[in-house]
């Protein structure tokens, strides 16, 4: 309606009675100026609306507004102050040379024109020539040569969010139409500022979430109900060696080598509750947690998969369990040694005395010799048990793998032979020493021998053989000491070969094994700078090779 009345008024000016009283060209020129002014005002408001985007800064927006306002008003300066936490802060000034208070200056409430506009929620027009004015901005305007200032409060959703200040080196007389335009401009500017604020809050929140998501050291994957991977963090990318470009083609079921029926996602769908499992991935022991994600209608639409690699934790737990066992064996062995050493000393001493007095061709001489040798063997077994279980100090020193083999065979060799298993030794006396702990190396050998014995136990073979061999090799200009324990037992399937070093994994029947031996052995080998290799074929036997760096 307003546009129609203004248009009618202009037509009347051109065609009506008044046009006959004044020069037609004067009126036309005046009308063109008014139209140009109104068009510029509309253009400014339209630009403010369009210019709100994530790329344009408030400085750029103010510059655009200022440059266009200057075409219709004799302006010298424009500034923006925002009201936050009950403080009014100067945030932007254009042109920059018209800066008096620094950016970020907090305007005091007393005697402030800006606060007057905030508190009254009304436009304030101020002329510098006014006498008796004690506003803190007065001196600044005098120094900058500003003669008049219009301050308009910015209001969004009924709340004041700031003040726009427009200064001029002239005393401008703004009419009602001008003031109405400035109010519309500031209302639109307030909406843009508030939207920018909300957008930045969302952007900051999103950025914080994404940075947290990426920074978590455990693997996190977001998958849909079909198992397609939608998002993953840096830990998952590193573990699975994801390609960012091809990640959307990955499927969690293929990744974890499980079918849909075994999938935690299927269980999530059925129970609508989180699922926890312990799984093996790439020869690593992992804890998997899957959490269903629901929309506003409580319909499940995705699953968050959380995977934590606990291989080292399990290995440490396994070593603690094994150490606890060894400590118990050591304590028991010490007690047995104390209790048996005294009667063994008497048996050995008396047997020696009787042997001295008995003729060698006497029947009793052979019996006394057996008593002496068996007593000596008992003492050696007790000594080997004490030596093996003495794990208090893991001191590394020059030691021989051959010596570790002899110690372990002295402990369990006869027991293995009693099960009709032949032990073949091929020990190279010329191999180098290693830097390590002979008791720990002995623990690896003992685990190898027990596994070999168990692999032969249920086999119906004409000859059961365990072969222990030591040798040294040169590989990549570095000397290595190798210990091989080989059997002709039942062997290990290719599928299980990938998992035998995982803590608590065992193919033995319940009560026969804990699944800790090889895991602990690998940990000891790696602590010595070495590794363990396995060669096995189902039904034909296995060979475990301990590979340790030779002492330089």
CATH of the domain at 167: 3.30.450.40
Q: Are strands 106-107 and 87-94 parallel, antiparallel or unpaired?
A: antiparallel
Identify how many contiguous H helices and E strands the chain contains and give both numbers: 16, 18
The CATH number of residue 377's host domain is 1.10.287.130
- What is the predicted pLDDT for the residue at 214? 80
Does the pTM of the predicted model rise above 0.75? no
The domain boundary residue, chosen from 389, 422, 453: 389
Tell which of 141, 171, 202 closes a domain: 202
Does residue 172 sit in the same domain as residue 57?
Answer: yes
pLDDT at 57: 74
Two structure tokens written together for 212: 């947290």
SS3 110: coil
CATH number at residue 507: 3.30.565.10
Instruction: Give the SS3 label for residue 281.
Output: strand
- Residue 526's pLDDT is 86
Task: Give residue 93's pLDDT.
Answer: 92
Q: Are residues 259 and 334 in the same domain?
A: no
Mean of pLDDT values over 344-353:
87
Indicate whether 375 and 519 sit together in one domain.
no
Q: What is the pLDDT of residues 528-543, one digit of tens each?
A: 899 999 998 888 889 9
pLDDT at 510 over 60: no
Does 23 reside within a domain?
no
Helix (H, G, I), strand (E, B) or coil at 128: coil
Express each pLDDT in 32-76 by its tens digit: 666 666 666 666 666 666 655 555 677 887 888 888 888 888 889
Same domain for 251 and 193, yes or no, is no
More confident residue, 262 or 247: 262
Residues 535 and 441 in one domain: yes
Query: Residue 303 falls within a domain, yes or no?
Result: yes
**pLDDT tier for residue 296 given thresholds of 50, 70 and 90:** confident
- Contacts of residue 29, defined as CB under 8 A and 6 or more positions apart, other chains included, come to none
Same domain, 193 and 281: no
CA-based nearest residue to 107, from 68, 54, 151: 151
Is 39 among the domain residues?
no
Sign of CA dihedral 137, 139, 143, 147: positive
80 and 197 share a domain? yes
- pLDDT beyond 50 at 17: no
Is 420 within 8 Å of 456 (Cβ atoms)?
A: no
Residue 548 parent element (H or E): strand 541-549
CA dihedral 371, 375, 377, 383 (to 10 degrees): 180
58-69 helix and 24-51 helix, angle to the nearest 10 degrees: 180
Q: Are 190 and 118 in contact (CB under 8 A)?
A: no
Q: At CA 79, angle to CA 152 and CA 90, rounded to 5?
A: 100
Tell me what the mean pLDDT of segment 449-457 comes to: 88
- Which residue spans within 233-321 are E strands per DSSP? 275-281, 284-294, 300-309
- Cβ-contact 133, 154 below 8 angstroms: no
The answer, yes or no, to whether residue 461 has pLDDT greater than 50, is yes
Say yes or no: 376 and 464 in one domain: no
Alpha-carbon torsion angle 384, 390, 391, 393, nearest 10: -130
- 368 plus 322 within the same structural domain: yes
CB count, 10 Å around CB of 552? 7
CA separation for the pair 514, 504 (Å, rounded):
6
Provide the pLDDT confidence category of residue 322 given band limits of 50, 70 and 90: low
Is 321 contained in some domain?
yes
* Nearest C-alpha neighbor of 48 from the set 33, 65, 27: 65
Are 499 and 401 in a shared domain? yes
Query: What CATH number has the domain bearing residue 295?
Result: 3.30.450.20
Does residue 189 register a pLDDT over 80?
A: yes
- Residues 409, 543 within the same domain: yes
**55 or 374, which is more confident?**
374
Alpha-carbon distance 422 to 487, whole Å? 10
Indicate the number of domains in the chain.
4
What pLDDT sits at residue 235? Answer: 87
Rg (the chain; Cα; Å) = 45
Distance between alpha carbon 526 and the CA centroid of its chain, in Å?
26
Q: Which structural domain range is residue 260 located in?
A: 215-313
Q: How far is CA 288 from the centre of its chain?
A: 15
Residue at 8 is within a domain: no
Question: Are 353 and 401 in the same domain?
Answer: no
Flag whether 18 is in a domain.
no
Q: Is 9 inside any structural domain? A: no
Residue 28 lies in a domain: no
Rounded to an integer, what distance in angstroms lies between the CA atom of residue 286 and that of residue 309?
4
Q: Which of 313, 337, 352 is the last residue of a domain?
A: 313
- 548, pLDDT greater than 90: yes
3-state helix, strand, coil in the chain (%, to 5): 50, 25, 25
């Amino acid at each position: 309606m307003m546009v129609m009345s203004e248009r009618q008024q202009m037509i009347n000016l051109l065609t009506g009675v008044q046009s006959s009283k004044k020069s037609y060209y004067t009126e036309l020129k005046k009308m063109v100026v008014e139209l140009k002014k109104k068009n510029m005002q509309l253009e400014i408001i339209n630009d403010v609306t369009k210019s709100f985007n994530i790329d344009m800064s408030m400085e750029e927006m103010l510059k655009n507004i200022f440059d266009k306002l200057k075409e219709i008003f004799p302006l010298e300066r424009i500034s923006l102050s925002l009201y936050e936490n009950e403080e009014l802060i100067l945030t932007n000034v254009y042109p920059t040379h018209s800066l008096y208070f620094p950016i970020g200056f907090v305007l005091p409430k007393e005697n402030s024109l800006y606060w007057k506009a905030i508190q009254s929620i009304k436009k304030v027009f101020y002329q510098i020539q006014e006498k008796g004015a004690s506003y803190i901005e007065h001196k600044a305007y005098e120094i900058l040569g500003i003669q008049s200032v219009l301050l308009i409060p910015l209001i969004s959703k009924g709340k004041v969010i700031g003040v726009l200040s427009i200064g001029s080196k002239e005393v401008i007389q703004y009419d009602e139409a001008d003031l109405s335009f400035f109010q519309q401009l500031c209302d639109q500017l307030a909406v843009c500022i508030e939207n920018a604020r909300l957008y930045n809050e969302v952007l900051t929140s999103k950025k914080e979430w994404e940075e947290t998501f990426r920074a978590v050291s455990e693997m996190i994957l977001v998958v849909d109900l079909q198992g397609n991977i939608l998002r993953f963090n840096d830990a998952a990318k590193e573990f699975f060696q994801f390609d960012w470009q091809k990640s959307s083609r990955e499927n969690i079921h293929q990744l974890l080598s499980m079918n849909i029926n075994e999938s935690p996602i299927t269980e999530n769908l059925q129970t609508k509750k989180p699922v926890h499992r312990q799984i093996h991935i790439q020869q690593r022991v992992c804890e998997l947690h899957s959490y269903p994600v629901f929309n506003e209608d409580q319909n499940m639409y995705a699953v968050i998969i959380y995977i934590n690699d606990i291989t080292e934790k399990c290995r440490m737990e396994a070593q603690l369990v094994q150490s606890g066992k060894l400590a118990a064996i050591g304590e028991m062995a010490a007690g047995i040694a104390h209790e048996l050493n005294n009667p063994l000393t008497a048996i050995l001493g008396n047997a020696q005395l009787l042997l001295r007095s008995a003729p060698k061709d006497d029947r009793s001489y052979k019996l006394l010799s057996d008593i002496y040798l068996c007593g000596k063997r008992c003492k050696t077994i007790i000594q080997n048990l004490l030596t093996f279980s003495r794990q208090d100090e893991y001191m590394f020193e020059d030691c021989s793998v051959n010596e570790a083999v002899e110690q372990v065979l002295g402990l369990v060799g006869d027991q293995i032979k009693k099960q009709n298993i032949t032990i073949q030794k091929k020990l190279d006396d010329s191999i180098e020493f290693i830097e390590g702990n002979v008791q720990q190396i002995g623990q690896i050998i003992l685990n190898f021998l027990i596994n070999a014995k168990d692999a032969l136990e249920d086999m119906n073979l004409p000859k059961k053989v365990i072969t222990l061999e030591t040798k040294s090799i040169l590989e990549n200009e570095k000397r290595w000491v190798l210990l091989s324990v080989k059997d002709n037992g039942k062997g290990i399937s290719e599928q299980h070969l990938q998992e035998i070093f995982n803590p608590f994994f065992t193919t033995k029947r319940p009560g026969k094994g804990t699944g800790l031996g090889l895991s602990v052995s690998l940990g000891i080998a790696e602590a010595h700078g070495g590794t363990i290799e396995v060669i096995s074929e189902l039904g034909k036997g296995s060979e475990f090779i301990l590979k340790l760096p030779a002492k330089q």
